[in-house]
Amino acid sequence: MLNRFVSRKNRYVQNENIAFLILPLVLLPLLPQVWALAHYKEWFLGHRDVIMFLDILYIVLARLLLLDTAIYIFSHSKRHFHIALLHVVFLYLEVTVITIFFYASIYWFFDPFHLFHLNSQFPPENLAMIQSHDFILSMYISAVTFTTLGSGDWIPQTLPAMVAVISEVVLGVVQGGVFVAILLYAHQNKEIE
């Protein structure tokens, strides 16, 4: 059944280039949250744990079902091997950026200083500068977590933050493994043809 879905004539999307435009739509559920945070901040923060768990569930399902499926379909392109391989690499880069941005947005919505504890000695002027750029801090925490570098300077201090970190690390590890598998698959198919 998957082979029928992958074959060009049975697909809804005939051109794989549109994947680069469709994948950022995964970020659309963040827009109502920005609006709710701006207009109903008390309600939003009162339900922070439930909203955060729903966000985590959404991005995990979206990544595994939508984004990775798109990459699988894209990797079966009948184009020249090197061009197809470049497209897969750029698509994976886009998926990585989308995933890191989504988690950074979650951390930013729910205040990175509420979710994480800073385990480092910063001079007061540096700490004040970090606190005034909380989205950049959220991007840093997300990138370090996703890439599994785990510098250890930001420690989750709430249960939702722990769940978010666990899911982001799993997605990062899975993404690396799937990426290598697709490259090997593409290389094996090139040798067969």
Distance CA 83, CA 69 (A): 19
CA dihedral 16, 63, 176, 119 (to 10 degrees): 140
User: What confidence score (pLDDT) does residue 36 get?
Assistant: 92
C-alpha dist (Å) from residue 58 to 38, 63, 122, 151: 22, 8, 35, 26
User: What confidence score (pLDDT) does residue 6 get?
Assistant: 47
User: What confidence score (pLDDT) does residue 70 get?
Assistant: 64
User: What confidence score (pLDDT) does residue 187 get?
Assistant: 64
C-alpha dist (Å) from residue 26 to 48, 64, 121: 21, 12, 37
pLDDT tens over the chain, length 193 residues: 445 544 545 444 455 566 667 778 888 899 999 999 999 999 998 998 999 999 999 999 888 776 666 666 665 555 555 666 677 777 788 888 999 999 999 999 998 888 988 877 767 777 777 777 889 989 999 999 998 887 678 889 999 999 999 999 999 888 888 777 777 766 665 555 5
Nearest to 17 by CA among 82, 83, 63, 61: 83
Cβ atoms of 104 and 139 within 8 Å: the answer is yes
Cα-Cα-Cα-Cα dihedral sign, residues 124, 125, 126, 129: positive
